[in-house]
A = this chain, B = another copy of it.
Amino acid sequence: VVTIKEVARRAGVSVATVSRVYNHSHRVREETRVRVRHTAQRLGYSPHGAARSLVTNRTHTIGVLLPDLYGEFFSELIRGIDQTAQARGYHVLLSSARSQVESLEPALRSMRGRVDGLILMTPDLDAAAAGRSLPAGFPVVLLNGPPSDAACDSFGIANFDGARSMVRHLASLGHRRIAIICGAEQNFDAAERLRGYRTALVELGLDRDPGLELPGDFSEAAGHAAARRMLERDLRPSAVFAANDGMAIGALSAFRDAGLRVPDDIAVAGFDDIPMARYVEPALSSVRVDISELGKNATDRLLDALGEPAPRTLQHQTLPTTLVVRRSCGAPGGAARSTPFNPSEG
C-alpha cells in the first residue's frame, strides 16, 4: 500500500513529478524519470484508481448491464465487449440479471462515479422507458432493445431480415405449411423474428395460421415441448423455423423421438448459428449473427462517444445476418456436416 507520496519521498522529488512520470510524461528530465520509475518499481507502487478518477472525473471503466442471459450469446457478447474495451484501455464493470425496469435505476445509481459510460441491454418490449431514468448526457449505448424514445445510440441485429430470409428460403424449397417456435414473450428480438416470419408468409402469399405460431422462450426445453405439441395436436407443418438454435435443437430431439426424419419428414431451421449447430444431426440450418461483433461495435461506439462533447449525433446500427444452409432444412446443396470448422466463420 505505497502511495505517490512515499515514492516521491524515496526518489527525492515532489509528488507532482511522480504524477507527471505516470501521465503526460513530457517535461520530465530523462534522468528523473528513470529514477522515479525505478523507485516506484522497487516499492511496488501503482496509482490508486479511485483517487485518480476522483480528480480526473474519468474511471476508464464502462458499465455493462445485461438481463439474465444464457449460453453462447452471453459469452460471445461479453467477449466482444471486453476485448474491445481492454484494447482501448478500459475496464468492464458487469452487472447481469437486470430485466426488471424497476431494478434498473438502483443499478444505475450504484454505478455513478464508477463508470464513464454504459452499455445497456434491454430486450424487454416494455423497456422503452429504460432510457428515461438515465442522467441526461451520460453516454449510453442500447443493445438489442426496442426503439426507445431515449436519446441514446442503439445497436441491434437484423432479426426481421434474418427471419424473413430463412422463411423465404424454406418456401423456396417447396414448403407451404411453415411453423414458427417463438422466442420469449415481451422480448424484442423474438418479436422481430416473428414479424419477419409473418411478413415473409404474406409476401409469399401463404395463409397465416395462428396455430402454426407456437410459444417458446429460447430454451432447448421449450423447443422440445413445442415440437411435441405440434405432433400431439396432429398439426404437421412441413417445416419449422425456431426463433433460436437452442429451441431448434430441442425440436430436432423431439421429432427424432417421435420417429420423424429430418429433413425428409419435416424441415427444421434455427437462428443464431451457435457453434454446436453444425455438429447436431442433421446439421442445423440457421441464421448467423456475429454476436461478438455486436459487442465490439457497441463498445467502440461508446468509447468514441466518451470523447465527443455533449450534444452527440445519435447512431443506430443493425448488424446484418447471413443465411447458413445445412442439412436440416432439406436444401439440395445443404453443406455437408463434416465441413471443417473455420474459426473466422463462427
Contact = CB atoms under 8 A, between A and B. Distances in A.
B93 A92 contact: yes
Nearest to A97: B83
A96 B72 contact: no
Contacts of A59: 50
Contacts of A49: 50, 110-114
B95 A91 contact: yes
A97 B86 contact: yes
A314 interface: no
Contacts of A332: none
Contact of A341 (B74, B86, B97, B220): B220
B71 A275 contact: yes
Contacts of A257: 337-338
B113 A47 contact: yes
Contacts of A221: 340-341
8 contacts: A49-B111, A50-B50, A75-B75, A78-B96, A91-B114, A253-B280, A279-B280, A281-B281
Contact of A249 (B61, B69, B114, B279): B279
Nearest to A222: B341
Interface of A: 1, 44, 46-54, 59, 61, 68-72, 74-75, 78-79, 82-83, 86, 91-97, 109-114, 135, 219-221, 224, 246, 249-250, 252-254, 256-257, 275-276, 278-281, 337-338, 340-341
A44 B135 contact: yes
Contacts of A74: 74-75, 78
Nearest to A81: B94
Given A49-B112, A74-B74, A91-B110, 10 more contacts: A71-B72, A75-B75, A78-B78, A82-B95, A82-B97, A254-B338, A257-B338, A276-B276, A280-B280, A281-B281
Contacts of A279: 220, 224, 249-250, 252-253, 280
A240 to B, nearest CB: 15
A51 B48 contact: no
Nearest to A249: B279
A69 B75 contact: yes
B48 A112 contact: yes
A340 B254 CA distance: 11
Contacts of A53: 50
10 closest residue pairs by CB, A with B: A48-B113, A49-B113, A221-B341, A46-B109, A49-B114, A74-B75, A253-B279, A50-B53, A50-B50, A50-B54
B112 A47 contact: yes
Contact of A275 (B52, B69, B93, B220): B220
A305 B109 CA distance: 27
Contacts of A75: 69-72, 74-75
A194 B82 CA distance: 32
A253 B338 contact: yes
Contacts of A135: 1, 44
B256 A341 contact: no
Contacts of A253: 278-281, 337-338
